[in-house]
Amino acid sequence: MAEKVNDYKLIDGISVVVNSDCPTCQLTSDLLVELGNSGRVTIFSQDNPAFPTSAEWVCDDSDLSFSWHNDIEAVPTLIRVVDGKEIERSTGWNRKEWERLFEVKNLAPDLVDHKPGCGSLSVSPDRVDELEIKFGGRKFVSRQVEIASLEDEIEAMFDRGWSDGLPVVPPTEARVSRMLAGTSRNSDDIIALIPPNLAECSVEKVAINAVMAGCLPEYLPVVITCLEAICTDEFNMHGVLATTMSVGPIFVVSGPITERLNMNSGINALGHGNRANSTIGRAVQLVLRNIGGGEPGGIDRATLGHMGKQGFCFAEAPSPWENLAEGFGFSSEQNTVTAFTGEGPHILVDQKSRSPESLTRSLAEGLKSTISPRMVMAMDAMLVVSPEHLSRFIDAGWSRAQFIEKLSELLIIDSDGIIEGAGGIEDGVPSVFAGNKLPKFRPGGLLVVHAGGPAGLFSAIIGGWLNGAKGSDPVTKEIIL
């Protein structure tokens, strides 16, 4: 009768890991019995303690502890051990290798010369997460909530207020463990104090909400960086939550990581349909809600809101111009997140301008009405330039700096037309500014990003929120994998 494996230590001599469903293990079963009876081998059987036979030299590895701890990726695997240390290993059936390892000649002459093995049960997709939790030594500190057997998991999370209004993925231990594999950070590292309650948020808690949002593990470093960016004094996430203005955090991801994560910077970049774009921003919002307590109707007092508050994240498209992060002192090879407080995007159409001068004037006209035609310098904006519009400037040899300089010149506004009472409109800048020329945006207050599909003469304006010490400033941070 096979003995249950009590530990996973290597045994001097030759050990062989098998399972009964593997055709190659079945092919070599008679040979393994012969070798075992002669005292030449110890067998670790993954699924059937009586395979290849019932004997004291067959160990029951049905809990896969030996296989998991010794990184068995295929069966059969032969491991030669001397003084408790692995010297070499071989996978599958290969007569010459087996003869060398066992130091015998003419081994099993009736078998084919070689045959590849099968996947080990310890790396089976339906077991790997369970085994990581069981043997990996990961200890979760977050509170575990038991769901009754007759309770619907999705509805249970709605009932407990963990949802943003859409269904969320149940954050099981296996899923959270898999998510944590996406970062090199320790699960108990505190990454930020999450407003409005300034609650400590560990990597583990971020991972839980990333699971709920539908993220893949490789997105986790981006989610963490987004949170680090908005949980700063400069960004003032508490103020962004509490304002009645319909704004929320918007994330622009720049650098090589956007291609690795298959993020969308092209067609419908500011919309739905891409998993990374959709779930990264959503994970951040779930953390704000579930960890920080920033629920709509509570501290979140937005009069109207916008659907981007569900999670607004997109990738910056490559272009001959420097990217957004470079304007904040980073290199094009660095992976970064820029957090910006903004409203929903609105389209700016110009289908006839063929010169950069004409298109710049057209864009300036649209930008003057950002947030309000009567508001200057107090609020920033983001201009998302589409490929067809960008081509006007690239073809003319304009640099990004040249474009922003020309645009800024056109965004000087005659204060007499926007002071309080002008044109019969009570709103406006104080009358003390009469007789002046005022810039629409403060220096550096207009962020220019390149994104969008290859066809369509449209760009987009995303209006910001109050800037400076009482408002929110854009924050760019490097993504730490």
The answer to whether the beta carbons of residues 463 and 442 sit under 8 Å apart is: no
* pLDDT tens, position by position, 182-228: 999 999 999 999 999 999 999 999 999 999 999 999 999 999 999 99
Please indicate, yes or no, if residue 272 is contained in any of the structural domains: yes
Note the pLDDT of residue 7.
60
Q: Compute the distance between CA of residue 315 and CA of residue 254 in angstroms, rounded to an integer.
A: 6
Distances (CA, A) of 418 to 92, 372, 374, 424, 433: 80, 10, 5, 10, 10
Note the pLDDT of residue 420.
92
- Give burial (CB, 10 Å; 0-12/13-18/19+) of 148: exposed
CATH number at residue 102: 3.40.30.10
Q: Compute the distance between CA of residue 386 and CA of residue 383 in angstroms, rounded to an integer.
A: 10
- In what helix (H) or strand (E) does residue 287 lie, and over which residues does it extend? helix 275-290
The answer to whether the beta carbons of residues 314 and 340 sit under 8 Å apart is: no
**Does residue 173 sit in the same domain as residue 114?**
no
Asked if residue 278 has pLDDT above 80, the reply is yes
**Does residue 60 sit in the same domain as residue 93?**
yes
Distances (CA, A) of 341 to 247, 338, 345, 355, 473: 6, 10, 12, 32, 8
Please indicate, yes or no, if residue 164 is contained in any of the structural domains: yes
**Does residue 174 sit in the same domain as residue 215?**
yes
pLDDT band at 133 (very low <50, low <70, confident <90, very high): confident
Look at the chain and report how many structural domains it folds into. 2
Please indicate, yes or no, if residue 117 is contained in any of the structural domains: yes
**Does residue 356 sit in the same domain as residue 274?**
yes
Please indicate, yes or no, if residue 235 is contained in any of the structural domains: yes
Asked if residue 249 has pLDDT above 70, the reply is yes
**Does residue 120 sit in the same domain as residue 167?**
no
* For the chain, percent of residues with pLDDT exceeding 90: 87
Please indicate, yes or no, if residue 141 is contained in any of the structural domains: no
H and E: helices and strands count for the chain: 15, 22
Task: Read off the pLDDT of each residue in 61-70 and give the average, rounded to a whole number.
Answer: 94
**Does residue 121 sit in the same domain as residue 253?**
no
Q: Which domain holds residue 333?
A: 156-478
Note the pLDDT of residue 99.
94
**Does residue 87 sit in the same domain as residue 206?**
no
Note the pLDDT of residue 1.
39
Please indicate, yes or no, if residue 149 is contained in any of the structural domains: no
Please indicate, yes or no, if residue 370 is contained in any of the structural domains: yes
* pLDDT tens, position by position, 429-473: 998 999 999 999 999 999 999 999 999 999 999 999 999 989 999
The reported pTM is 0.83
**Does residue 196 sit in the same domain as residue 87?**
no
Asked if residue 2 has pLDDT above 70, the reply is no
**Does residue 189 sit in the same domain as residue 82?**
no
The answer to whether the beta carbons of residues 281 and 342 sit under 8 Å apart is: no
Residues facing 90 on adjacent strands: 78
* pLDDT tens, position by position, 75-125: 999 999 999 899 999 999 999 999 999 999 989 999 999 999 999 999 998
* pLDDT tens, position by position, 333-382: 999 999 999 999 999 999 999 999 999 999 999 999 999 999 999 999 99
Which two tokens mark 17? 């890991």
**Does residue 168 sit in the same domain as residue 106?**
no
Asked if residue 23 has pLDDT above 70, the reply is yes
